[in-house]
Amino acid sequence: MDAKLFHIFRNTPLGRETLLQSLYFCKQADATPVVYIPRHTKFLMYFENDVVQVDLDTSYLTAPGSAENHAAELLSDNGMDPDFFQPKNFTASTLPDIPTHFDFMCCPRSISDLSSKIGLGYIGPRVRRIVNEAHFPVLLTSGVFKPWKRIAVLFGGSANALNALKLGLRLRRTSGMPLVVYTLLEGKSEEDYRSIVRQAHLEDDFERHGDGWHFFEDGPIEENLYDIPHDALTVVGAFGHGLIKDMVFGSMVEKIQSVLPNNLLVVGPKYTSLV
């Protein structure tokens, strides 16, 4: 396993569920979890063009004496060796610096400077900034651990949607789980979207590893999202067009988040594809 997933552990029942989801993802994505047990409620992430201060709510500091043992037990139960991240650099005594060289990051919705608003239908502004700046995809988990048995890629035809499709195909190869693409036509034809995939030289890969392409002809987004299986990891591209135009950044975020409780793997505009 060469890929690394960065996970911030919260020593609570909800935090346990989130870590279980990260560990399951790592098994399917052929990745290794790197677990950070925070000692402070803030840290900095230095990206190429932005520095993001991440604010955690105080629940992340619950029972620090048992946090490492609890996380280690979950890792061991899943056949993984504990790999705990210890910050080496600090911008201030209570403000550690977190590197950004990971391949994935689990980013619970409670990472926000507006934590009181966090819920299924809201993604905090700090999460948005991480997605916007990170070269890695961000895993947004459901509230309770639930294994996913398939992969759904929301494809609207943008460059980021193509990256989401590439990532979905990679996960299809590593996990062996079926992959289906979902597209809202929005006045275009099915051939228009197939042509985009063909021009990106992904047609052969999709024909070998894809398991179907579902097109929504019309209807509101809430009704269309019902067709996405409840047990699917949903891969989306931020700042895209079509079905995923405003899924993470924009006016539809609360609506779509409240409709679609699936685990989401979000590809931002600076995502760098894994080999």
pLDDT, tens only, 176-197: 999 999 998 878 889 999 999 9
**Location of each CATH 3.40.50.620 domain in the chain:** 150-267
- Domain 150-267 belongs to what architecture? 3-Layer(aba) Sandwich (3.40)
**pLDDT above 80 (res 242):** no
Q: What is the pLDDT of residue 258?
A: 65
Q: Are strands 138-140 and 264-267 parallel, antiparallel or unpaired?
A: antiparallel
**pLDDT above 90 (res 238):** no
CATH class (in words) of the domain with range 3-140: alpha beta
**pTM for this structure?**
0.89
Phi first, then psi, for residue 196 (nearest 5°) are -60, -45
Q: What is the pLDDT of residue 219?
A: 77
Average pLDDT over the chain, rounded to an integer: 85
**Alpha-carbon dihedral 93, 52, 30, 269, rounded to 10 degrees:** -170
Query: Residue 2 — very low, low, confident or very high, per pLDDT cuts 50/70/90?
Result: confident
Phi first, then psi, for residue 74 (nearest 5°) are -65, -40
- Cβ count near 13 (within 10 Å): 8
Q: What is the pLDDT of residue 48?
A: 87
